[in-house]
Amino acid sequence: MTEHNLTLNDSGIHDSEVERIFGDSGLLSASIQGYRSRQAQIEMAKAIAQAIAGQKTLLAEAGTGTGKTFAYLIPALLWGGKVIVSTGTKNLQDQLYLRDIPTIKKVLRAPVSVALLKGRANYLCHFHLERTLQNGRLTTREDVGYLRDISRFIKTTSSGDKAELARVPESASVWSLVTSTKDNCMGSECQYYQDCFVMKARKEAQQADVVVVNHHLFFADLALKDTGIAELLPSANTVIFDEAHQLPETATLFFGDTISTSQILELCRDALAEGLSYARDGAEWAKIVAPVERAARDLRLSFPQDSIRLSLQQIAPSSEFFPNLETLKDSLGDLIQVLEKQAERAETIEQCRVRAIDLQDQLDNWRELAPDSKEAKGKPECVLWVEAYSVSLQLHRTPLSIAPIFNKQREGVPRTWIFASATMAVKNDFSHYVSQMGLWDEPARTWPSPFNYQEQGVLYVPEGMPQPNSREYTDAVVDAALPVIEAAGGRTFLLCTTNKAVKHCAERLKDEFTQRGLDFPLFVQGDAGRTELLDRFRAAGNGVLIGSQSFWEGVDVRGEALSLVVIDKLPFAPPDDPVLAARIEAMEKKGLNGFVHHQLPEAIINLKQGAGRLIRDETDRGVLMICDPRLISKPYGKRIWQSLPSFARTRELAVVLKFFANLAHARSSASE
């Protein structure tokens, strides 16, 4: 990388180098088939090169099709020094590492070393695999088969990355038995420490010029110091966040604290296994763990509903929750006493003791650090809330704002911070994102998409829709969408704001397709993994895919397979969300309007992501159908559609049907 350092502080030379690489007759055009020079991409690359030269921060929003990945990777590889690139999804992480960076390295002949770093749950653990093979605690024949595959795989893999073993699904329960967690890793005490895949990945990351991570890993590390980023960050000259619009949510997740009854049940499982293995005569292990297990389950049963989210203030003082929480703490204290007496008999029992104390501290702190307590003074303002799932209960402490915490992380050694996304601004206004992340007074720039949205697409808002909160709304969405899906020849994404709506739409469409004799394959979120569903959707060519949040972003289907995106409702966060309610309350105390300053910009950024699924390159054409009548009837509707791509707009079904008839005609003429 040294050959380029001469140009580091001379942005004029940077600019000419950028032109030489990205221009019409530049290196990329000469080396990559189908590459076309784009002015917005050149401008973005220059801005990033200048930010790197001056060790500055830059917010960079680039519309779909700008080619933002190359626009930040090329300056980073040439002038960035030690670079960390963090992505919103594992999919993009793999794409950068396996495809984009090798392509650029080859074109530029850049002598940079690159490492991929994932969270420890992605790497096989020699110790836990051996223990699982010995214990034989597997309950299904399927898991036994998977375990056989894994024990063969560990002999041949150099990375230990479970993504390489596609035969065992990522969701298989056996993975939790053959990978480590921060809690149950033996560290340097482990007999396999020299061969450890996690340590090997971290060592490679330490030595590499470019390290590719994802946001979850980046922030988990800043919070937990468990993924190797804390060691990487001091030496990094440049940090780039792609899909940066996801950062506020991801950072909030990790800068808060969560303790789950599942963690306590896992501790009980491990304490019982280790106690029986190494200190069978030391205690009646089954009798010791049983009260803890019972107390954890009783805590979950304090709330009879299947899924619920409540702030601490919303839990009735007479609720069983409070006495059940005390019972859990007491029984955990009894378990800790036994583990302390037996800890010297095995390293793994000592480890259970440390975990148990940590869990007890978290349970104690959860209540003690209530916002009005004196311990909370000087700490970030937080909201305390509980979330119940079918079999577990989580206790959360979530900061109301991550801005002060994140700014603390950015203090110290000067370095370049690049925040890149297709969706950070609301009508070119970055103020919502800036206030969430604490990036005040930092430069922010927008580059428009090169696509001709006016020609390539239509925004259709059907007339006569009921109010989104009415009972018949989802049926009305299906009724309005059916003639459009038929005209499009399938080729549809139906994006819903709730899982309940996904289920209902799937049932309705299945019946309607059968009754109307429509041969459109139906793909429903949850029937298979996201990647598999997308592959099957692309291969079908006339499919209809129904999904919720995970299909609104990070999904790329180019060409004829996708011609219609239907969005059921404007994606406002559910009003019963305890964190949202607390944030709005805090904003309103400062004289701000919670809806205008938080809920609306959040919904717009989310909607821009969903809308961005439709047009993915210069030849794509299609219809974006937003069913929600508030887009037209509410005063804020104008602000929303002005933030969307500049599609031609209509409320008439006839216009949409004509668009698809013309499109079908153009396609059949092209194929003759």
Q: What is the pLDDT of residues 208-263, one digit of tens each?
A: 999 999 998 888 877 665 555 667 777 899 999 999 999 999 999 888 888 999 99
Rounded-to-integer distance, Cα 229 and Cα 236, Å:
10
Q: What is the pLDDT of residues 319-336, one digit of tens each?
A: 999 999 999 999 999 999
Q: What is the pLDDT of residues 285-307, one digit of tens each?
A: 999 999 999 999 999 999 988 88
- Look up the CATH architecture of domain 255-399: Up-down Bundle (1.20)
Return the structure tokens found at 219. 């922030």
Q: Where are the domains of the chain?
A: 2-119+202-253+403-447, 255-399, 453-671
Rounded-to-integer distance, Cα 145 and Cα 172, Å:
11
| Residue 61 clears pLDDT 60, i.e. is over it | yes
Q: Look over the chain and give the mean of its residue pLDDT values, rounded to a whole number.
A: 91
Q: Does domain 453-671 have CATH number 3.40.50.300?
A: yes
Confidence of residue 2 (pLDDT cuts 50, 70, 90): very low
| Residue 348 clears pLDDT 70, i.e. is over it | yes
* 376/66: higher pLDDT: 66
Q: What is the pLDDT of residues 527-582, one digit of tens each?
A: 888 888 999 999 999 999 999 988 998 888 999 999 999 999 999 998 778 999 99
Rounded-to-integer distance, Cα 556 and Cα 332, Å:
48
Residue type, 290: A
Would you say the CATH fold of 255-399 matches that of 2-119+202-253+403-447? no
- State the CB neighbour count (10 A cutoff) for residue 42: 20
Residue 368, pLDDT score: 62
The distance from CA 75 to its chain's CA centroid, rounded to whole angstroms, is 26
Query: 257 Cβ partners below 8 Å, 6+ apart?
Result: 362, 365, 366, 396, 397
CA atoms within 13 A on the CB side of 538: 10
Q: Which CATH superfamily is domain 2-119+202-253+403-447 in?
A: P-loop containing nucleotide triphosphate hydrolases (3.40.50.300)
- Average pLDDT of 112-136? 91
Contact by Cβ (8 Å): 569, 627: yes
- Average pLDDT of 272-280? 92
Q: What is the pLDDT of residues 385-437, one digit of tens each?
A: 999 988 899 999 999 999 998 988 888 889 999 999 999 999 889 999 999 99
Query: 221 Cβ partners below 8 Å, 6+ apart?
Result: 227, 228, 229, 230
The distance from CA 125 to its chain's CA centroid, rounded to whole angstroms, is 25
Query: 116 Cβ partners below 8 Å, 6+ apart?
Result: 93, 94, 97, 161, 201, 211, 212
Residue that has been written with the tokens 């305890």 in this structure: 578
Residue 185, pLDDT score: 86
- Farthest-apart Cα atoms in the chain, separation: 82
Ramachandran bin of 302, using left for φ above 0, alpha for ψ from -120 to 50, beta for the remaining angles: alpha
| Residue 11 clears pLDDT 70, i.e. is over it | no
Residue 408, pLDDT score: 85
- Most confident of the ranges 138-142, 181-185, 342-346: 342-346
Q: Is 278 exposed, middle or buried (0-12, 13-18, 19+ CB in 10 A)?
A: middle
Contact by Cβ (8 Å): 197, 150: no
Q: What is the pLDDT of residues 475-507, one digit of tens each?
A: 999 999 999 999 999 999 999 999 999 999 999
Rounded-to-integer distance, Cα 596 and Cα 604, Å:
11
| Residue 634 clears pLDDT 50, i.e. is over it | yes
| Residue 3 clears pLDDT 70, i.e. is over it | no
Return the structure tokens found at 549. 């949040």
| Residue 376 clears pLDDT 60, i.e. is over it | no
Q: Could you tell me how many helices (H) and strands (E) the chain has, helices first?
A: 29, 18
- Average pLDDT of 634-652? 95
C-alpha dihedral (609, 611, 616, 622), degrees to nearest 10: 170
C-alpha dihedral (194, 200, 205, 206), degrees to nearest 10: 0
Nearest CA-CA partner of 310 in 651, 574, 588, 62: 574
The distance from CA 299 to its chain's CA centroid, rounded to whole angstroms, is 29
Rounded-to-integer distance, Cα 453 and Cα 455, Å:
5
Contact by Cβ (8 Å): 311, 578: yes
Percent of the chain with pLDDT over 70: 94
- Which DSSP helix (H) or strand (E) runs through 133? helix 126-135
Q: What is the pLDDT of residues 49-59, one digit of tens each?
A: 999 999 999 99
3-state secondary structure of 379: coil
Return the structure tokens found at 379. 């700490």
Residue 633, pLDDT score: 96
Return the structure tokens found at 204. 């490679």
Confidence of residue 10 (pLDDT cuts 50, 70, 90): very low
Confidence of residue 7 (pLDDT cuts 50, 70, 90): very low
Return the structure tokens found at 385. 């809330």
Residue 549, pLDDT score: 84
Helices 68-79, 101-108: crossing angle, 10 deg rounding: 50
Confidence of residue 6 (pLDDT cuts 50, 70, 90): very low
Residue 632, pLDDT score: 96
| Residue 192 clears pLDDT 80, i.e. is over it | yes
Residue 377, pLDDT score: 59
